[in-house]
Each structure stands twice: as structure tokens, then as C-alpha cells.
């Protein structure tokens, strides 16, 4: 086998970086369909507002368990034709697409919740190796561009997916209301299209992208097997996280609840608080929910466009300052929803969220660059996901009580609380994250190559 050293990744062309990122368009298509519509589906099937967080438990719990395991396994996978990460892309996309087709045919809450578990398990199997894929394929000088290209694909996929219910109703004239226990036609056909784009986009990346064979050191890692040793290695890596990763993980821990609360309640908050709808059978509620989904699509467009200039801003201001400012934009966007009296002002609110989302999808991972051992990137990316899913688990298990007893099922207050948590994340990022100078980064990478240890 021809071995490459850890420093030999050649620079890739723009077309090659796009090819390796297209799959994320499909993955995000699936995620945004569920984020924009699952709260609505649950309420159509009879769920109360305080029950919605618990019904969203599938996503964080599966991410907590699945991502580090898949990271560990993909670090140790090598097939001469399929490569290392691509088998997981393909299997995850195939099963997720099947779950998307069946989701809008749910006849009861338990069925929708069960399909969401399937969708989230295999969505995580497809998604987790994509973060490590960037580090596998690109030299350090192109890592920022790789994550930014993923942000572009995420923004594009999210904008199309979130707008589909509105498009299906206003352009294709599919009904957006349904009796209790049924799913509207515009939502059903949105999920069908989502299944197609999820699988087709991931398949495109699988077929157009090759992976490098493992180096001599990595080949030893590939050959080491055993579930027990895998569990021990995951916990060892968790206990020995690089210092910079610990701080960035804390930023993530307070960032993501703001996003979760938006995904839990924003669409229905627009339907109830802005449009004045009563319940899922009310045409005013349905119109408001469709419009809410459309504004979520708009923030994904903002993400797509802002990601084009984000690298230059990060080069000018530094990664941590850029990320902190973007988080503040997102917080202001979420909090200001309460001041909206004209529905079109929601686009301004979502502009701030789109700016934040572009940074959330790239800057934390870029801030980790140079601090992770190259042969354990998959494991550490899975562990990094802990600090995304743990706050969602806490929210899923405990926020229902808070929603019912403190916020009195006011969806708009829940969205604002998410904005406040995002402000806290911005402060932590700016005050505590320490970015190395370029010379320090080069030395760190050299030490990792020579000694095989994290900084």
C-alpha cells in the first residue's frame, strides 16, 4: 500500500471541494425538513406545546450515542473502493431517505416519534464523518474553505427544504390544513422531495470523491479493533480533550439551546403569536406556520450568502471575534421576534439568525484546527458533538415543565430565552477562547506529526 504522511494532503480545486461537500446539501435538506415541520406534525397529531420538547429527544440522544461511535468506527475503516468515510455516508443516507418517505404518513404520535428516531440515527451516521472528511482531504491552509463550503451547502439545502411547504401550497396549490390526526398535503410532498434530495446529493459525493489510503500510523489504527477498546478510547479522549477544545465546547453548550428552542417553537410561535391562529385545524394557524417556514428558509439563504464573505471577515478579525459577533446577531434576531407586528419584519429577525448560523456551522470547527490529533479526528468530532446534544437532551427532558409552569406555554418567550443563552455563548467565546498565532499553529501541527499527541 502506498502511504502518505500527515502533511502531504495536496490542495484541491474549487470543483473538488464542491464535490466533497454536495452531500451535506442533502443531509441538511433532511434535517431542516424535520426541524421546520416536526413541531407542526406533532401538534397535528394531538401533542400539546409542553410535550414537544420531549418528542424531540430523538435527535440529541441519538447524536450523543451514535456520533462518537461512528467517529471511532470510521477512523478504523478502510476499503480499497469505498474508502473510509463514504460507506457511512451511503448507508445513513439510504435509510434516512426511507424514513422521510414514511414520516408524513404517521397516524399517531408514537409512529412519528419512532420514525424520527430512525431518521436521526441514520442521519447522524451520514453526517458525523463529513466533519472528519474535511480534515482527511484538505491541507490546513484549505480547512477553513472546506468548512465554509459545507456551510454554503447547508444554507442552500436548508433554504430549499424550509420553503417547500410554502411553495407546495402557494405554487402547486396543495392543501396546508388537515383534520386532527392527519398531515397536510403540502407537508407530505415536501418530505417526498426531501427523501430524493437527501439520497441523491450524498450519492453524488460518494461517486465523485476519492479518499486517501491510511498512512503507516493510521493503518495501525485501522487494524486495531474491539468494542471494549473503542469505548475506552472514547472515554480517554473525552478526559484528555485539548484545552482549546474544552472552551469551544462550552461555547457550543450555550449556543445550541438557542437554536433548539427556535426549532421547537418558532414556526408555531409565528402561527399563534404573530398571525393569531388557534390550533392546527385553523386556516390562519396553517398560513402562519407556512410563513414561519418560509422565513426559516430565508435565514438559510442568508447563511448561504454570508458564508461567501465569512472567511475574509475571519481573516481580518480572527475566528473567535468573528464568531462572537455573529452569535450576538443571532441572539438579537431571536429576541426581536417579540417586537414584530408586521409579518415581513420576521425576515429582518431571521437575517441575524442566518448570520449566526453560518458562523456556527464553520467557526467552532475552524477554531479546533491544529488542536486535534490527526489520527483521532473522527472520535474528537463525535465528542465535540456531545456539547451540542447534551443541552438539547436537557431541554427535551426539562423544558416541558418550564414551558408549562413558568412560561405558561408561551412559545414566543421560549424563542427569546434561546436568544439570551446565545448572548452568554458569545461572551464566553470572546473572553475565554485563546487563538494561537500562526507560528504556534505550525509548531503544534509539527508536534502532532512527530509525537502523535494533542496540543
- Domain boundaries defined on the chain: 14-209+233-447
Residue of 311, 436, 431 lying closest to 361 (CA atoms)? 311
CA–CA gap between residue 430 and residue 432 (Å, rounded): 6
Using the structure block, give the residue that is written with the C-alpha cell 463525535.
Answer: 382
What are 31's three cell numbers?
Answer: 434535517
Judge whether 453 and 447 are in contact, CB under 8 Å: yes
CATH superfamily of 14-209+233-447: MFS general substrate transporter like domains (1.20.1250.20)
Provide the β-strand partners of residue 83: 79
Taking only the tens of pLDDT, the chain with its 455 residues reads: 344 444 557 889 989 999 999 999 999 899 888 877 887 788 888 888 777 777 877 777 777 788 778 877 888 888 878 888 899 999 999 999 999 999 989 988 889 989 998 998 999 899 888 878 887 888 877 877 888 888 888 878 888 888 888 899 889 989 888 777 788 899 999 999 999 999 999 999 999 998 887 665 455 555 555 556 667 777 787 888 888 889 999 999 999 888 888 888 888 889 888 898 887 678 888 888 888 888 988 888 898 889 889 988 988 998 899 999 999 999 999 999 989 888 999 999 999 999 999 899 889 988 886 677 776 777 787 788 788 888 878 877 778 788 888 888 888 899 999 999 999 999 999 999 887 665 444 444 444 434 433 33
Establish how many alpha carbons lie within 13 A of residue 271's alpha carbon, considering only the half-sphere containing its beta carbon. 27
Amino acid at each position: 500500500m502506498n502511504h502518505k504522511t500527515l502533511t502531504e494532503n495536496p490542495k484541491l480545486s474549487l470543483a473538488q471541494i464542491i464535490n466533497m461537500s454536495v452531500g451535506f446539501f442533502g443531509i441538511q435538506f433532511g434535517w431542516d425538513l424535520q426541524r421546520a415541520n416536526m413541531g407542526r406534525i406533532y401538534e397535528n397529531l394531538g401533542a400539546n406545546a409542553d410535550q414537544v420538547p420531549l418528542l424531540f429527544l430523538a435527535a440529541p440522544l441519538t447524536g450523543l450515542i451514535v456520533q462518537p461511535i461512528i467517529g471511532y468506527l470510521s477512523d478504523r475503516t478502510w476499503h480499497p473502493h469505498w474508502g473510509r468515510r463514504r460507506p457511512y455516508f451511503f448507508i445513513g443516507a439510504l435509510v434516512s431517505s426511507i424514513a422521510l418517505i414514511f414520516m408524513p404518513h404517521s397516524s399517531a404520535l408514537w409512529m412519528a416519534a419512532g420514525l424520527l428516531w430512525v431518521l436521526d440515527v441514520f442521519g447522524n451516521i451520514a453526517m458525523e464523518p463529513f466533519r472528519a472528511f474535511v480534515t482527511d482531504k484538505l491541507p490546513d491552509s484549505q480547512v477553513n474553505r472546506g468548512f465554509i463550503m459545507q456551510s454554503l451547502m447547508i444554507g442552500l439545502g436548508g433554504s430549499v427544504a424550509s420553503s417547500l411547504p410554502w411553495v407546495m401550497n402557494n405554487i402547486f396549490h396543495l392543501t396546508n390544513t388537515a383534520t386532527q390526526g392527519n398531515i397536510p398535503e403540502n407537508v407530505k410532498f415536501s418530505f417526498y422531495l426531501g427523501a430524493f434530495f437527501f439520497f441523491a446529493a450524498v450519492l453524488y459525493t460518494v461517486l465523485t470523491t476519492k479518499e486517501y489510503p491510511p498512512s503507516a500510523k493510521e493503518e495501525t489504527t485501522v487494524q486495531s479493533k474491539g468494542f471494549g477498546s473503542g469505548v475506552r478510547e472514547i472515554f480517554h479522549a473525552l478526559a484528555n480533550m485539548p484545552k482549546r477544545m474544552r472552551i469551544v465546547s462550552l461555547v457550543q453548550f450555550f449556543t445550541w439551546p438557542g437554536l433548539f428552542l427556535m426549532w421547537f417553537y418558532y414556526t408555531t410561535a409565528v402561527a399563534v403569536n404573530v398571525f393569531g391562529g388557534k390550533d392546527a385545524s385553523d386556516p390562519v394557524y396553517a398560513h402562519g406556520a407556512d410563513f414561519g417556514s418560509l422565513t426559516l428558509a430565508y435565514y438559510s439563504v442568508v447563511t448561504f450568502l454570508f458564508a461567501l464573505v465569512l472567511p475574509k471577515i475571519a481573516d481580518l478579525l480572527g475566528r473567535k471575534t468573528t464568531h462572537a459577533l455573529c452569535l450576538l446577531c443571532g441572539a438579537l434576531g431571536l429576541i426581536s421576534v417579540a417586537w414584530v407586528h408586521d409579518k415581513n419584519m420576521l425576515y429582518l429577525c431571521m437575517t441575524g439568525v442566518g448570520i449566526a448560523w453560518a458562523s456556527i456551522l464553520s467557526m467552532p470547527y475552524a477554531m479546533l484546527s491544529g488542536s486535534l490529533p490527526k489520527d483521532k479526528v473522527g472520535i474528537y468530532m463525535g465528542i465535540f458533538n456531545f456539547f451540542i446534544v447534551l443541552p438539547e437532551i436537557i431541554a427535551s427532558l426539562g423544558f416541558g415543565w418550564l414551558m408549562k409552569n413558568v412560561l405558561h406555554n408561551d412559545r414566543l418567550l421560549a424563542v427569546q430565552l434561546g436568544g439570551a443563552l446565545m448572548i452568554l455563548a458569545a461572551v464566553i467565546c470572546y473572553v475565554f477562547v485563546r487563538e494561537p498565532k500562526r507560528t504556534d499553529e505550525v509548531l503544534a501541527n509539527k508536534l502532532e506529526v512527530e509525537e502523535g499527541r494533542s496540543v
